[in-house]
Amino acid sequence: MASTTTVTPGRTVRKVQPIPQTRNRLELALWLFMRYSGLALVFLALSHFWMQHVLIGTHEIEFAGTQLRWGITGQPVTVEQVIWRAYYAVMLVLAVTHGINGVRQVAYDYFGHRPAIYKGLMSVIVAVAALISLGGIAALFMGAAASGGEAALR
């Protein structure tokens, strides 16, 4: 702080208290989350995309491949399959939360002035997203259905 008789050359550095209001802290946390999850997703999402959609190619994706990576419902899983499951689980959680918060931001921009609509919209989106991702997670940990392969062979 400026003194009255002498001045320290160079720049003053000051500290402030952490921002106390939880609501505001949430905005900050989400803002940070968007950036860090984004950076993580660069590796996760891009590697997945390149693997599945470019290297293998959508046209080559068969149910059998999924069974191989996830394991099959009710059967023991290999170490490799656990790693695959973890990889997909992390990506799924990050992508969904990142995406949902993204949608929340967009919705707040355009519908924030109508709280009722905004809240309604957000509930629907969150509900649908929760359902889908729960399904996704469950599927991941249950593995692909054993019968699926047969269907593919038919």
Partner 1 sequence: MKINLKIKRFNPETDKKPHWETYAVEVEPTDRVLDALHDVKWNQDGTLALRRSCAHGVCGSDAMRINGRNMLACKVLIQNIAKDGDTITVEPILGLPVVKDLIVDMEPFFAHYRAVMPYLVNNDPLPANGRERLQSPADRERYDDTTKCILCAACTTSCPSFWARGEYVGPAAIVQAHRFIFDSRDQAAQQRLEILSAQDGVWRCRTAFNCTEACPRGIQVTKAIGEVKEALRTGVIR
Partner 2 sequence: MPQYHQFDALVVGAGGAGLMAALYASKGVNTAVISKLYPTRSHTGTAQGGISAALGNLEEDKWEWHAYDTIKGGDFLCDQDAVDIMCREAIDAVIDLEHMGLPFDRTPDGKISQRRFGGHTNNETKKPVMRACHAADRTGHMILQTLYQNCIKNNVKFFDEFQVIDVLIEDGKCNGVVAVQLATGEIHVFHSKATLIATGGFGKMWKVTSNAHSLTGDLPAAVLRRGLPLEDMEFFQFHPTGVYKLGILLSEAARGEGAVFINDKGERFMERYMPTLKDLAPRDICSRCIYTEIREGRGIGGKDYVYLDFRPEQINKYFEADGNPKRIDAHYLETRLPDIIEFARVYQGIDPIKEPVPIQPTAHYAMGGIPTDNDARVLADETGRIVEGLYAAGEVACVSVHGANRLGTNSLVDLVVFGKRGGIAMAEYCKQASFRPIHRDAAAKAGAAQLDRIRNNNGNERPHAIRKEMQAVMDEKVGVYRTGAGLEEAIDKIHELQARYKRIRIDDKGFKWNTDLMEAWELGALLDLAEVTAFAALARTESRGGHYREDYPNRDDVNFLKHSMVWKNGTITLKYKPVRITRIPPQERKY
Partner 3 sequence: MFTPLITTARESLRYRGSGHVLWLLHRVTGLGVVIFLGTHIFGMSMATFNPPLHEAMLAVYKTPLFSVGEIVLAACLIFHAVNGTRIAILELRPALWDKQAVATRWSVIITLILLAPTIAVMAFKSISYYVTHGLK
Find, among 55, 87, 54, the residue nearest to 70 by Cα. Answer: 87
Q: How far apart are the first and last CA of the chain?
A: 79
Find which of partner 1, partner 2, ligand HEM, none residue 61 binds, CB within 5 to 8 Å per kind.
Answer: none
Q: Which residues contact 114 (CB under 8 A, 6 or more apart)?
A: none
Q: In 10 A of CB 125, how many CB atoms?
A: 15
Q: Which residues contact 151 (CB under 8 A, 6 or more apart)?
A: 63
Is residue 13 close enough to count as binding partner 2 by CB under 8 A?
no
Sign of CA dihedral 82, 83, 86, 92: negative
Is residue 113 close enough to count as binding partner 3 by CB under 8 A?
yes
Is residue 34 close enough to count as binding ligand HEM by CB under 6 A?
yes
Is residue 7 close enough to count as binding partner 2 by CB under 8 A?
yes
Find, among 107, 137, 105, the residue nearest to 124 by Cα. Answer: 107
Find which of partner 2, partner 1, partner 3, none residue 42 binds, CB within 5 to 8 Å per kind.
Answer: partner 3
Point out which residues bind partner 3 (CB under 8 A).
Answer: 35-36, 38-39, 41-42, 45-46, 49-50, 53-55, 57-63, 66, 70, 73, 92, 95-96, 99-100, 102-103, 106, 109-111, 113-114, 117, 128-129, 132-133, 135-136, 138-139, 142-145, 147-148, 151-152
Residues at the site binding partner 1, with contacts judged by CB under 8 A: 1-21, 23-25, 27-28, 30-32, 108-110, 112-113
